[in-house]
Amino acid sequence: MRLLFLGDMVGKTGRTAVWDRLPGLISDLRLDFVIVNGENAAGGFGITEEIYLETINAGADVVTTGNHVWDQKEAVSFCERHDQFLRPANYPAGTPGRGSSVYYARNGARILVANVMGRVFMHPELDDPFKCAEGILAACPLKEQADAIVFDFHAEATSEKQCFGHFVDGRASFVVGTHTHVPTADHQILNGGTAYMSDAGMCGDYDSSLGMDKEEPLNRFISKMPKGRFEAATGPATICGVGVEISDRTGLAEKIAPLRLGARLSETIPQFWV
């Protein structure tokens, strides 16, 4: 099974790049399932229902989020209407929406996708992500209720991300980090067979500060005084993500490689899909 994960879409330039390229990628690479993190898609802060629907219409099977999930107030209501929209699963009981669900891939496989948020240097501090993941895995074990299991672990600290990967190793197909918007070079298959990458990067303008116009963040580092609001950068976008091949027999990963397409970073497509 071929699965593609695309990192945080940032602003108009990031989301439109994904919408433009994703249908061709699904066709050309014969993808079975696509997950896109959309929490920064609306001007860098949250996601609207219209943007969510455009992302699904472009071919995404699931849209995940993170700490910015509620930045657009309409998300509180529309999250209840759409099964393919996930907010972090470790929000307290009673929070609107869902944090995990089982979906069907194009090849008929059952894919459990879970969105979990870390706690180190993160706000708000949610419930224990490790305990949350344990409950998700117990309710839907790999190769019993799910043919593959994917975690979007939205977190700041690479140490927490790595420990989470080891925690679910052998019980999940793929753990991918989001939130820091910079693609890491540590894509690997862990000892138990779980594919892992600390951060998929972002889909946005890399002539920026994490997808935001660089002048105001730079000013605040230098002067410690705000001059204006953070605004999403508007230059040409680079799409960043990661591709994984998952065994139909075991539900564990067989191959993993980054995908990067666009303006500034060196372009790469997983060679096992070419």
Residue 166 is a catalytic residue:
no
Question: Can you give the pLDDT at residue 103?
Answer: 98
pLDDT, position 274 = 82
C-alpha span between 197 and 7 (Å, rounded): 11
- Known binder of ligand: residue 37? no
Q: What is the pLDDT of residue 263?
A: 87
Tokens of 160: 């927490």
Give yes or no for a contact between 7 and 63, defined as CB atoms under 8 angstroms apart.
Answer: no
Regions in the chain scoring below 50 on pLDDT: none
Question: Per the annotation, does 115 bind a ligand?
Answer: no
Q: Is 90 annotated as a binding residue?
A: no
The predicted model scores a pTM of 0.98
From edge to edge, which strands make up the β-sheet containing 2-6? Answer: 62-64, 33-37, 2-6, 238-246, 253-262
Catalytic annotation, pick one of 68, 82, 166, 187 = 68
Confidence at residue 202, expressed as pLDDT on a 0 to 100 scale: 98
What's the pLDDT score for residue 194?
A: 99
